[in-house]
Structure 1
Amino acid sequence: MTKTTRKTETASRLMTLLARPQTPALAAGAIIFLILFRRSSRFRFFARMFGFIFTMAISCIVGITVAPIMWLLGKPGLTNYVVARTFALIGPPFCGLKFKVEGKEHIKNNSMPAVFVCNHQSSLDLLAMGAILPKNVVVMGKKSIKYVPLLGWFMALGNNVFIDRKNRGHALETMAKVAVYLKEHKYGLWLFPEGTRSHQTDDSLLPFKKGAFHLAVQGQIPVIPIVFSTYYPCYHQKNQIFEAGVVTIKVLPPIPTTGLETGDVDDLLAKTRDIMAEALKGIKTKPTGSVLPPITADSAKKLE
């Protein structure tokens, strides 16, 4: 086929496409979308939130599909890793966020077993996790997540752990079993010791719950702290803000628990929280799109 013939065929296909009745409507829709996206911060918020939910749903479907295969191959610990990498690949272009990882040498695959503790800001933490989650790591979440369509289904199939916070006895029993499982299979456990989303606009942490540290001491498993830089000024759900930016993820050196006993849990918790709080002050999310005004005492109150 000559170059002239190829050009003629390309031109013919283009003319056929332009002749379709739906083409003008699609073109007009695309133009309107671009104008609104450029001029309206609220429109960008909803567009990017849709992109986040859409790509998370796709990632969960991948997990639901992959999980049975991984079980058959005897590698169930890879399910979360595959989902994390899928989300990290397709999520950022839709959400406008990129991730810079510091201290990645502390999270090598041969560091298992380990208890990974991380600050919990919002649902965007799932996207940040996608950029860092190593192989053979399970995630601990509250029992109600199990019933969330797609996300809960994938997490259940991915061998993740659900805790019933209302039943303390059952929660402690689950923690003890998980500690044994992590050591036997050389797995890692990822959880958020704050226990709930902080929606923070400053470099602060909520009080930590003891569960992760009881588990680490019980299993003599090292604790690896991880901090995500505060998403504001790029993201704030209440004020419908979602701008492009670069989030910094910092992995801190492991904290050994060898020789520690139950009486040392409070000190371990305090030490870990202090280290994470200090690290959080040293990293920032850098906007690459619209820049919001800096947080002041008065403006912070309005965002609460």
Structure 2
Amino acid sequence: MNLLLKLVRVIYLVYAAVLWLGIMFLILPFIFLASLLGKVRGGNITFYFLRLWAHLWFPLVGIWVRKINRDHNEKGNFLYVVNHRSYLDACIAVKVMRLPFRPLGKIEMKKIPFFGFIYKQSVVLVDRSSAKGRASSVREMMWMIRKGISILIFPEGTTNETDQLLTPFHNGAFRIAIETQTPLKPVLYLDSGTRLPHKGLRLSPGRCRVLFLPSIPVQGLTMNDLPALKQQVFDVMETALRQYTRYPDVELQETTS
């Protein structure tokens, strides 16, 4: 029985991977054409094609992404701060985040054949190996915000592989929010670590809930307020994660499709 179950899991994983690549190759020519329109306009168009990919791929592999809005559908540009449990998180972001936005992404990913081209068109690249690379990514994020584009950052810096709900936050997101006076919006991916754990290739069908929390204003804050702001956001996210971990079906009263 265990052998049969393992075989089914392998077949499902191969099926999901083939679909992932197949749909990506279908939209690649359109993303190439969009890239000719520049970093802002072309990047925005790219995300509409990526969203099409996500709307096709998730249902076809039996993953149902469900949004839980506690923010009453707030409008405007934000600096999204999101917990990070899985490689699936980037795919979820494409499906649920309000456009236009750009995530912060590792520069190493652009070396992946074909996917790397799409990646370069759709993220703000960061080279964490050098101070110059980090400074360049900060400047680009600030430029995007001034162009009316929201930014998505995983403040934990890397995938959380611990037993803790959250790992300590880095300062970058909060520094940019204060410097640009852009409100922070905490967002929680509640099930991505279950659907696709960071360790091992074990994708599974099921629900993927995304919790949008009310924004946190930064108007008038200075760098002296950064530690308190970082702690405030951490506490808000950890409290919500604890609630949804303890009561996994609480969203039934709040979910919007």
TM-score, normalised with respect to structure 1: 0.70
Q: CA deviation at 1:53?
A: 3.0
* Aligned partner of residue 206 in structure 1, secondary structure: coil
Q: Which runs of 5+ in 2 are unaligned?
A: 250-257
Residues 126, 181 of structure 1: alpha-carbon distance in 2 compared, 3 angstrom cutoff: closer
- Which amino acid in the other structure matches residue 97 of structure 2? L
Name the CA distance, whole Å, in 1 between partners of 2:62 and 2:69. 23
1:126 to 90, 95, 98: 90
User: Structure 2 CA distance, aligned partners of 1:71 and 1:106?
Assistant: 36
What is the distance in 1 between the residues matched to 2:194 and 2:173? 30
Change (3 A) 1:52 1:105: farther
1:56 paired to 2:20? yes
In the alignment, structure 1 residue 111 sits paired with structure 2 residue 76: yes
Superposed counterparts of 1:250-269, under 5 Å? 250-269=211-230
**2:46, 2:68 → 1: CA distance?**
21
Q: How many aligned residue pairs are there?
A: 245
The answer for the alignment partner of 2:206 in structure 1 is 245
- Give the alignment partner of residue 142 of structure 2, picking from 155, 179, 182: 179
1:131-178 Cα offsets, whole Å, 9 max, x none, are: 3122111111111111122332102123x2111111124312431342
2:100 to 103, 119, 136: 136
Amino acid corresponding to residue 65 of structure 1 in structure 2 = F
Aligned-residue offset at 1:238: 4.0
1:156 lines up with 2:129 in the alignment: no
Distance 1:252 1:144, change over 3 A: same
| 1:77 CA displacement | 4.1
Q: Unpaired runs of 5+ in structure 1?
A: 1-35, 287-304
Which residue matches 1:166? Answer: 129
Shift of residue 269 of structure 1? 1.4
Letter of the aligned partner of 1:66 in structure 2? Answer: I
Cα offset for 1:282?
Answer: 2.5
Assess, with a 3 A threshold, how the Cα gap between structure 1 residues 206 and 66 changes in structure 2: closer, same or farther. same
Structure 2 contact 86–193 (Cα < 8 Å) conserved: no
CA gap 1:211/1:55 in 2 versus in 1, 3 angstroms: farther
Q: Which moved more, 1:73-82 or 1:224-233?
A: 73-82
SS in 1 for 2:244: coil
**What is the distance in 1 between the residues matched to 2:97 and 2:109?**
19
Which residue of 2 is the match for residue 211 of structure 1?
A: 172
Q: Structure 1: how far apart are the matches of 2:37 and 2:84?
A: 33
Provide Cα deviations, 1:35-88, integer angstroms capped at 9, x if missing partner. Answer: x9x983323433333344334334543155235337549732433432442232
Structure 2 residue aligned with 1:76, among 42, 48, 52? 42
How many Å separate the matches in 2 of 1:96 and 1:242?
Answer: 11
State the shift of 1:235 in Å. 4.3
Q: Is the 8 A contact 2:85 2:198 kept in 1?
A: no
Distance in 2, Cα, partners of 1:233 & 1:206: 18
2:188 matched residue in structure 1? 227
Larger Rg: 1
- Identity, in percent, stands at 21
Change (3 A) 1:240 1:167: closer
SS at match of 1:250: strand
